[in-house]
Structures are given as C-alpha cells and as structure tokens.
C-alpha cells in the first residue's frame, strides 16, 4: 500500500493504473486491483478520531463505535475496487452533505462541550471534499470505460434499538431509478435473503424497511452520474454484540465469503442487462 496525495490518486485512476493507497492525511483507503463495472464502498467503517477533538467530545469511544459500521470494509475487502473511510463519522460524516457532515449532536446527545471553531470544522470538511473528488474521478472512469456501473454501498445498523422485527439486510431505493433498475434491485434483495449464516442466524432481506437510502454517498453519485446504480445495503449488526462491543469474526467471515460470490454474480448480470442503455 502506498501513501498518496489526492492528485496522485486521481491521476492513477485517470491513467487506469492498478494500485492500493491510503490518502496522505490517512482519511480513507482505495484499492483498484482491476477495472471492472462495479465498486464497493464502506464510508462508515472508520473509527479514527482526531486527537485534538478528544477533550472537547462528550461521547465516549464506545458511543462512537456503537454508531459506526465496524467490519463493513472487511466484508468487501476481496473485491477489485474498494474505497473506505478511516475516520469516525463523529469527526465528519461521509454519508452526509458537507453542510451537515459535522455533528452538533448525535442521536439525541450533545456532541461537543463547546462549539467547534471554524478552523477545526474546515480541517474535517477538507477531508470530506477530498474523498468526494476521488469518488467522482473513480465513477467517471468506470462510466467512461464500461458505460454503466453498480456500486455496493455497505453499511450496518443497530437492531436492538428497534422495537419490532427488522431484516438481516435492508437497502434503500427512494433516491435511485426504480423504473429502470427495478428488476436488478429485486435480484439483489433475493440473493441476500439466501445467504447462509452461522449461529442459527436467519437471512431476511427487505427494501426500504428500516432505511430508505437517503445517504449522501448514494445521492452524490446518482446526481452526478446517470448510468450508475448505487445499492445502499445495510447489514443488521448480527456480526457483533452491539451492547457489549464484542465482534463475532465467524459471522463477519461468513458475510465476506457470501459477498465474494454474490457481488460479482449480481454485478455481472447488471452489466449484461444494462450495458447498452447508456
């Protein structure tokens, strides 16, 4: 893995180079093993939290971990193109627009002892902006090369805060073209519902049940690129004990193994069906 500037990363993408890199400010990683018509993202995988913010933060390390999406990068790490955040969403949220990316409160609790200075905010927003410069360059290259592409936008969610039964997998479709992509969306739902998981976990999969797909990563790509489908896929946190902060590696491994097969199969079908539409 290399440490590269944003300009260097974008140049490598534009020249269709294969590489694995961390951004020079250690805010995100990107890997391109091959140029294919799909990519995977894990924008909430990060847990790093800038040290100069520690004393001013009212949330504990556990509070932050609880709302992050740990192991989502691990679930997709074997795929040819993977981009993932390294910083906690409590520093800045890559799945929110710049104007709301820095929290003042989080899940009903005030975040900062005293308001952040504009300098502190700008440090975070610069990282947010740089990430999306790279995302734009990546999708632009994939559409240029293949005409269409599909992005698997991986997240997880805390199921124990819900007072009803919630699905193992949920994905939101309110901000994507359902008329155009409806069949391939349903195919993804069906594939996820058939995943075999350990420990007696039953796979269920629903559309717009717990979340509707309102994240900025999806919206940014969809608004800038008309031939890219983003599937905002939420995994219920059946792969950890969200209350006691214990990871279940056998479940993470099972999810990774399943997605290693299903994502290429699904993206291949997507490409065959939609490559002549651009």
Report d(CA 171, CA 211) in Å as an integer: 7
Residues in the chain: 278
Contact indicator for 166, 209 with CB cutoff of 8 Å: yes
Report d(CA 185, CA 207) in Å as an integer: 9
41 contacts: CB under 8 Å, gap ≥ 6: 82, 83, 84, 135, 151, 152, 153, 154, 217
- Domains along the sequence of the chain with CATH: 2-274 (3.40.630.40)
Q: Give 248-254's long-range contacts (Cβ < 8 A, gap of 24+).
A: 248/199, 250/198, 250/199, 251/197, 251/198, 251/199, 251/201, 252/71, 252/74, 252/75, 254/195, 254/196, 254/197, 254/198
Average of per-residue pLDDT values in the chain: 95
Please, how many CA atoms are within 13 Å of residue 271, restricted to the half-sphere of its CB?
18
Residues of the chain with pLDDT under 70: 277-278
pTM (2 d.p.)? 0.96
The SS3 call for residue 78 is coil
The distance from CA 206 to its chain's CA centroid, rounded to whole angstroms, is: 18
Contact indicator for 83, 154 with CB cutoff of 8 Å: no
Report d(CA 155, CA 134) in Å as an integer: 20
- Cα 97–102–107 angle (5° rounding)? 100
Cβ neighbours of 31 (radius 10 Å): 20
Helix (H) or strand (E) holding 122: helix 118-146
Contact indicator for 127, 25 with CB cutoff of 8 Å: yes
Q: Which residues pair with 42 in a beta bridge?
A: 84
């Amino acid at each position: 893995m290399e440490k590269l500037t944003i300009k260097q990363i974008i140049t490598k993408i534009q020249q269709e180079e294969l590489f694995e890199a961390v951004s020079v400010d250690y805010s995100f990683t990107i890997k391109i093993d091959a140029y294919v018509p799909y990519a995977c993202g894990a924008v909430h995988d990060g847990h790093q939290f800038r040290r100069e913010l520690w004393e001013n933060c009212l949330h504990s390390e556990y509070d932050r971990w609880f709302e992050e999406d740990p192991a989502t990068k691990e679930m997709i790490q074997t795929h040819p193109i993977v981009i993932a955040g390294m910083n906690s969403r409590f520093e800045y949220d890559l799945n929110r627009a710049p104007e709301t990316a820095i929290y003042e409160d989080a899940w009903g609790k005030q975040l900062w002892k005293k308001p952040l200075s504009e300098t502190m905010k700008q440090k975070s927003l610069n990282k947010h902006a740089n990430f999306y410069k790279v995302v734009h360059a990546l999708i632009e290259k994939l559409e240029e090369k293949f005409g269409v592409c599909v992005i698997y936008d991986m997240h997880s969610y805390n199921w124990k805060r819900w007072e009803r039964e919630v699905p193992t997998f949920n994905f939101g479709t309110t901000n994507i073209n359902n008329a155009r992509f409806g069949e391939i969306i349903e195919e993804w739902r069906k594939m996820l519902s058939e995943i075999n998981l350990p420990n007696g976990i039953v796979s269920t999969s629903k559309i717009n049940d717990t979340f509707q797909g309102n994240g900025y990563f999806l919206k940014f790509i969809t608004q800038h690129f008309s031939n890219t489908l983003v599937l905002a896929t939420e995994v219920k946190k059946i792969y950890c004990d969200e209350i006691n902060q214990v990871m279940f590696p056998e479940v993470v491994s099972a999810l990774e193994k399943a997605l290693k097969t299903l994502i290429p199969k699904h993206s291949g079908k997507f490409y065959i069906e939609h490559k002549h539409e651009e």
